A and B are shown apart, each in its own frame.
Chain A
C-alpha cells in the first residue's frame, strides 16, 4: 500500500472513533479513557506518515466517492504532507489533553463531542489532501460545520450561540469566494480537478481575479482584517481543546489553501499580489497585537494574538510572492521557509497556551484575568509549560518563535536590489513594523502570564485550585517539547521544510543550511548571518549554573522567608496588584486613536467608586453593523410587497402573466 492509502486508513480510523462515540454518548469513561487517546495515537501515526511522505514523490488516488462524473481526487505532495505533519503533531497533543478535559455536564454530551471532534480532525486532513474543487469544498464545509457545532458546545449560553452564528456566517462568505476562485481557475473548461487548473494558463487579469477571491475566501477563514470579527468571538466560546485546534490548526488550512492557489494553481505570480498580502498581513498583525494587549479575558487575548500571528504569516507569504515574481528564488525560498516555520511554531505554542487556559478554567472556573493570579503555586506543571509557550510566543531565543522571526527578518534584510524603488523603500518600513509587532507580542505575553500565574490570588477561592490531570499534563508536555525542539534544532526542521519550498518555488534554503553544519543555522553564509540556539542555551545555562555554584561556594546560601517588603507598606492586598486593565493602560494611551473605547471614571466623591472600560472593535461598528442595517432596510423594502392578503398576491401573478405575455408577443 502507498503512503496515501495508509493516510486514508488513519482518517477512516478517526471517523470510526467519532462514530463509536455515539453509543457511548454519556459514558465519559469510554470516551475519555479510550476514544480520545486512540485519536491521539492515530494523529501521531498521521504525523509519522506525513513525515515520510515529505521525502517521496507525489502520490495520487481517486476515491469511489462523490458525484458520478466527479469522484474525489486526492493528491499527496510536499505541501500537503507538511500541513498533515502539523495537523498530526499538534492534534496528538490536543487529543491527549482532551482525553483528560471533556467531562459530563458541559453542554454537548462527551460522546457527541467525540464525533464532532474527530470529524473536524478528519475533514482538516482531507482539505489538504483534496485534489479537485469538489472534494476540497466538501471537506472545507465539513470542517466549518463540525467546528461550528464544537464552538456551540455550550449552546445554552446566548453569547456562545451568537458567536457560533457569526462564525458560520463569515465561514460561508469565505466559502463562496473560494468556490468562485475555483470557478475562475478552471478557465471555462468545466473540469474542476486541480490537475486541470494547473494546466491552464490564465491571463494576468483572470489570475489576479482568482488571487483576490482566494485572498478573501481564505482570509475569512484565517481571520485577516477586516474579516476577523468572528475569531475573537468564536475561539474563546469553544471548549479549550477546540479553541486550540481551531487557532493552531484550522487557521493553518487557510494558509495552506492560499499557498496552494497562489503558488500551485494560479500558474503566475504578479508582484503586486505580494504587496497586497504584505499590506493585509501588516495591518492584521498590528491590529491583532494591539487589541490583544488590552483584553481582559484570557482566551480572547489569545484569540487576538492568533490574529497577529496570521498577519505575520501573511507578511511572510507576501514577501515570498514578491521575490518569486521578480525571480529571486533564493530569497523567496527564505521567506517561505520562515512562513512555514512559523506555521509549525504557532501550532505548537498557541495550542499549548489555549490548553493551559483550559486547565486554568477547569481548576478555577474563571476566565477573566481580573479574577486570577498566583496559580504558579497551585498548578506548577501548567505554569512551567505555559512559560515555555509564552516565551516561544514572545519570539524569544532559544524557543521556536524566535527562529521564525529571525528567518523572516533575515529575508527582509537582504532585499536590496528589488527592481522597483518603491518596493525597496517599502521593505525596510515593513521590517520596522514587524519588529514592533514582535516586541509588543512580548508585552502581551508578560501580561498574560504575569496576571494568571504570578502574584497573589485575586479571589479567595483560587486557593482551592487543583492541578491538571495527568493526561492534560501529558498533552501540554508534548506541545511544550515541540516549542523547545523546534527552537533548538532549526537546521533539522528546515530540512523538513525544504521539500515544500522545492515543490512550490523550485528552490530551497535546505542545501545551504545543511552545508553550514547542524549546529549553526545560516541560510546564506556563516559570515553573513548565523544563529546557534543550542550553543546559546548551553552558554546561558552554563553561566547560570556556574554563577549559582560560585555564589553559594564563595559566600553562603542563607535564605530567610518573610513578608513582602513593598517599601514597608503593611496593608498590601491582592487587589493592589496591577489588573489586566492596568497592564493594558499604556497601550490604550499610546494607540488611543485605534480603539473604540468607552470609559466610566469615578469621581472623588463616590461612596463606592467604579471604574469601567469597554473596548470595542471599530470594524464592527464601522463595517459590519452598517452592512447589517443595509440588509435589514432592503429586506424591509422587499417586505412591502408582502401584504398578507390573497387578492394582492393574485394581482402579482396576474401582472406577471401580462408582462410575460407581452414579452412573448414582442
Chain B
C-alpha cells in the first residue's frame, strides 16, 4: 500500500514546508519593502526572529488556563498536517487519504477555533476583540474556500487533493472558465485568511485595527514562535494549494526520486513568483475598514458560487 518513495515524498514535503515557510515570509517582506522604497530586512530575518523567540522565556498571564498553553502546539500541528496533505511535490502521499479537500478546510477551521478560544482565555479586551474578528473573517472565508475547492472537485470528480492535481496537471491543456472565476475567489480568501492587506496588516502596531496581532497579543517566547511559524506555514499551505489548483504543472506523479528532484525547483520558482505577486497586491492596496471586510468576502463567496454554476452550465 504505502510505498517507500511515497513515504519519502511525504516526509520531504513536510520538512520542506517547515524549512521554506519562514523563507517565503522573508521573501514577501523583502519585496514589500523594496516596492515601498524601504530598505529591506534580510531574507533570513524570520528565522532569526524565531530563534530569538524560542530562546526567550514564556511569560504567561496569571489566569491563563491549560487551553492557552496547548493552543499554539495544536495550531502548529494542524498547519504541519495541512502542508503534508497539500500536494506540493508529489501526488503520491500516504497522508492524502486521511484528509481530502473538505477535511483540509476543517483543519484550518480547527486551528482557527483553537487560536480564537486561546485569545479569549486570558480575558483582555483586545484578545476577545481579536477572537471575534478572526471568527468573523473565518465564517465568511470558509464557505468561499470550500466552494473554490468544489469547483475543482466537480471538474475532476474527486475531493482528494492529490487526485485533483493529478487530473488537472497530467491531462491535455485546457482552460476552465469555472476555475478562472474560482481563482479570483481563492485569491480573496487567501488574503483574508492569511491576515494580509487589504483585510489585515501583518506589520500593524495599531491595536484598534489589528486582527491577527490582537489574537496573539498575550503570547510570548516559544508559544509566540510557534504561532508565528504556524502563520508562515499557513501562508505556505495556501500558496501551495493555489499553485496546485491553478498552476499544477511540475508536480511529480510517479513518485520516483528523479521527478521529485525536478519538482522542488519548480515549486520554489512558482512560490517565488507568487510571493512577489503577493507583495505587489499588498503594496497597491490600502487596508480596508473592518466593516467593509464582509463585503469583500461576500464577493469572494459569490464568485465561488458563480464558478460552481458556470461549471454546471457549461460543463467545464
**A492-530 vs B, Cβ < 8 Å mask (1 yes, 0 no):** 000000000000000000000000000010100011111
B60–chain A nearest beta-carbon distance, Å: 5
The answer to whether B305 and A455 touch across the interface, beta carbons within 8 angstroms, is: no
The answer to whether B160 and A529 touch across the interface, beta carbons within 8 angstroms, is: yes
| C-alpha gap A583/B135 in the complex (Å) | 10
B77–chain A nearest beta-carbon distance, Å: 4
Q: Interface centre among B78, B97, B131, by most A CB within 10 Å?
A: B97
Q: A424-B312, A543-B76 are in contact. Are A564 and B122 (CB under 8 A)?
A: yes
Is A263 interfacial (CB-CB < 8 Å)? no
The answer to whether B135 and A442 touch across the interface, beta carbons within 8 angstroms, is: yes
A-side contacts of B65, CB under 8 Å: 376-377, 454
Is B67 interfacial (CB-CB < 8 Å)? yes
Is A351 interfacial (CB-CB < 8 Å)? no
| C-alpha gap A416/B146 in the complex (Å) | 18
Report which of B59, B103, B133, B135 forms a contact with A536, defined as CB distance below 8 A.
B103
The answer to whether A455 and B312 touch across the interface, beta carbons within 8 angstroms, is: no
| C-alpha gap A450/B117 in the complex (Å) | 6
B-side contacts of A377, CB under 8 Å: 63, 65
The answer to whether A543 and B77 touch across the interface, beta carbons within 8 angstroms, is: yes
Main secondary structure of the interface of A (DSSP, over half): helix
A-side contacts of B234, CB under 8 Å: none
Q: A454-B117, A565-B218 are in contact. Are A396 and B308 (CB under 8 A)?
A: no
Is A428 interfacial (CB-CB < 8 Å)? yes
| C-alpha gap A558/B54 in the complex (Å) | 10
CB closest residue in chain B, given A432: B305
Is A555 interfacial (CB-CB < 8 Å)? yes
How big is the A interface, by class?
Answer: 35 or more
The answer to whether A561 and B139 touch across the interface, beta carbons within 8 angstroms, is: no
The answer to whether B61 and A562 touch across the interface, beta carbons within 8 angstroms, is: yes
Q: Interface centre among B95, B107, B226, B312, by most A CB within 10 Å?
A: B312
| C-alpha gap A567/B73 in the complex (Å) | 24
B-side contacts of A413, CB under 8 Å: 150, 153-154, 159
The answer to whether A540 and B113 touch across the interface, beta carbons within 8 angstroms, is: no
The answer to whether B100 and A531 touch across the interface, beta carbons within 8 angstroms, is: yes
B129-144 interface with A by 8 A CB criterion: 129, 131-133, 135-136, 138-140, 142-143
| C-alpha gap A560/B222 in the complex (Å) | 12
Is A539 interfacial (CB-CB < 8 Å)? yes
A-side contacts of B274, CB under 8 Å: none
How many interface contacts (CB-CB < 8 Å) are there between A and B?
A: 262
**B100-122 vs A, Cβ < 8 Å mask (1 yes, 0 no):** 10110011011011001100111
The answer to whether B73 and A548 touch across the interface, beta carbons within 8 angstroms, is: yes
A393-437 interface with B by 8 A CB criterion: 394-397, 402, 405-406, 409-410, 413-414, 416, 424-425, 428-429, 431-432, 435-436
The answer to whether A432 and B301 touch across the interface, beta carbons within 8 angstroms, is: yes
Q: A394-B113, A454-B123, A555-B55 are in contact. Are A578 and B103 (CB under 8 A)?
A: no
The answer to whether B98 and A442 touch across the interface, beta carbons within 8 angstroms, is: no
**B292-316 vs A, Cβ < 8 Å mask (1 yes, 0 no):** 0010000001001100110011000
| C-alpha gap A528/B217 in the complex (Å) | 42
The answer to whether A446 and B123 touch across the interface, beta carbons within 8 angstroms, is: no
Report which of A424, A439, A547, A572 forms a contact with B76, defined as CB distance below 8 A.
A547
The answer to whether A455 and B123 touch across the interface, beta carbons within 8 angstroms, is: yes
The answer to whether A564 and B61 touch across the interface, beta carbons within 8 angstroms, is: yes
The answer to whether B139 and A439 touch across the interface, beta carbons within 8 angstroms, is: yes
The answer to whether A566 and B125 touch across the interface, beta carbons within 8 angstroms, is: yes
The answer to whether B74 and A566 touch across the interface, beta carbons within 8 angstroms, is: no
The answer to whether A435 and B146 touch across the interface, beta carbons within 8 angstroms, is: yes
A-side contacts of B294, CB under 8 Å: 586, 589-590
| C-alpha gap A586/B295 in the complex (Å) | 12
A79–chain B nearest beta-carbon distance, Å: 28
CB closest residue in chain A, given B51: A555
Report which of A410, A428, A562, A589 forms a contact with B312, defined as CB distance below 8 A.
A428
B-side contacts of A540, CB under 8 Å: 74, 77-78, 81
Is B5 interfacial (CB-CB < 8 Å)? no
The answer to whether A567 and B126 touch across the interface, beta carbons within 8 angstroms, is: yes
Is A165 interfacial (CB-CB < 8 Å)? no
| C-alpha gap A564/B125 in the complex (Å) | 11
Is B267 interfacial (CB-CB < 8 Å)? no
The answer to whether A527 and B80 touch across the interface, beta carbons within 8 angstroms, is: no
Q: A565-B218, A586-B136 are in contact. Are A555 and B54 (CB under 8 A)?
A: yes
Is B158 interfacial (CB-CB < 8 Å)? yes
Is B191 interfacial (CB-CB < 8 Å)? no
| C-alpha gap A566/B67 in the complex (Å) | 18
Is B124 interfacial (CB-CB < 8 Å)? yes
Is A52 interfacial (CB-CB < 8 Å)? no
Is B58 interfacial (CB-CB < 8 Å)? yes
| C-alpha gap A663/B17 in the complex (Å) | 94
The answer to whether A531 and B98 touch across the interface, beta carbons within 8 angstroms, is: yes
The answer to whether B77 and A577 touch across the interface, beta carbons within 8 angstroms, is: no
**A569-592 vs B, Cβ < 8 Å mask (1 yes, 0 no):** 100101011100011011001100
The answer to whether A572 and B73 touch across the interface, beta carbons within 8 angstroms, is: no
The answer to whether B81 and A456 touch across the interface, beta carbons within 8 angstroms, is: no
Report which of B109, B143, B158 forms a contact with A396, defined as CB distance below 8 A.
B109
Q: A416-B154, A562-B61, A564-B61 are in contact. Are A391 and B113 (CB under 8 A)?
A: yes
B176–chain A nearest beta-carbon distance, Å: 15
| C-alpha gap A544/B79 in the complex (Å) | 11
Is A559 interfacial (CB-CB < 8 Å)? yes
CB closest residue in chain B, given A414: B157
CB closest residue in chain B, given A516: B97
The answer to whether B309 and A428 touch across the interface, beta carbons within 8 angstroms, is: yes
Is A541 interfacial (CB-CB < 8 Å)? yes
Is B291 interfacial (CB-CB < 8 Å)? yes
**B188-217 vs A, Cβ < 8 Å mask (1 yes, 0 no):** 000000000000000000010000000001
The answer to whether B123 and A528 touch across the interface, beta carbons within 8 angstroms, is: no
The answer to whether A561 and B76 touch across the interface, beta carbons within 8 angstroms, is: no
| C-alpha gap A464/B160 in the complex (Å) | 51
The answer to whether B117 and A406 touch across the interface, beta carbons within 8 angstroms, is: no
B38-91 interface with A by 8 A CB criterion: 54-55, 57-63, 65, 67, 70, 73-74, 76-78, 80-81, 84
Is B184 interfacial (CB-CB < 8 Å)? no
Q: A450-B128, A562-B62, A576-B124 are in contact. Are A428 and B308 (CB under 8 A)?
A: yes
| C-alpha gap A582/B129 in the complex (Å) | 9
B-side contacts of A582, CB under 8 Å: 128, 132
A-side contacts of B121, CB under 8 Å: 376, 454-455
A-side contacts of B301, CB under 8 Å: 432, 436
A-side contacts of B136, CB under 8 Å: 443, 586
The answer to whether B291 and A589 touch across the interface, beta carbons within 8 angstroms, is: yes
The answer to whether A455 and B99 touch across the interface, beta carbons within 8 angstroms, is: no
| C-alpha gap A554/B217 in the complex (Å) | 25
Return 9 A-B CB contacts under 8 Å, by A number: A397-B106, A449-B117, A531-B100, A531-B103, A544-B73, A551-B54, A567-B207, A578-B132, A586-B133
Known: A564-B122, A572-B125. 20 other contacts (CB 8 A): A394-B113, A397-B107, A416-B154, A416-B312, A425-B309, A428-B312, A436-B143, A442-B109, A446-B116, A446-B131, A455-B120, A528-B160, A532-B98, A539-B81, A541-B77, A543-B77, A558-B58, A569-B125, A582-B132, A583-B128
Task: Enumerate the 6 nearest inter-chain pairs by beta-carbon distance, A residue then B residue, closest first.
Answer: A455-B123, A578-B128, A543-B77, A456-B123, A435-B143, A450-B120
Point out residues on A near B: beta carbons under 8 Å. Answer: 373-374, 376-377, 387, 391, 394-397, 402, 405-406, 409-410, 413-414, 416, 424-425, 428-429, 431-432, 435-436, 438-440, 442-443, 445-447, 449-451, 454-456, 520, 522, 526-532, 535-536, 539-544, 547-548, 551, 554-556, 558-567, 569, 572, 574, 576-578, 582-583, 585-586, 589-590
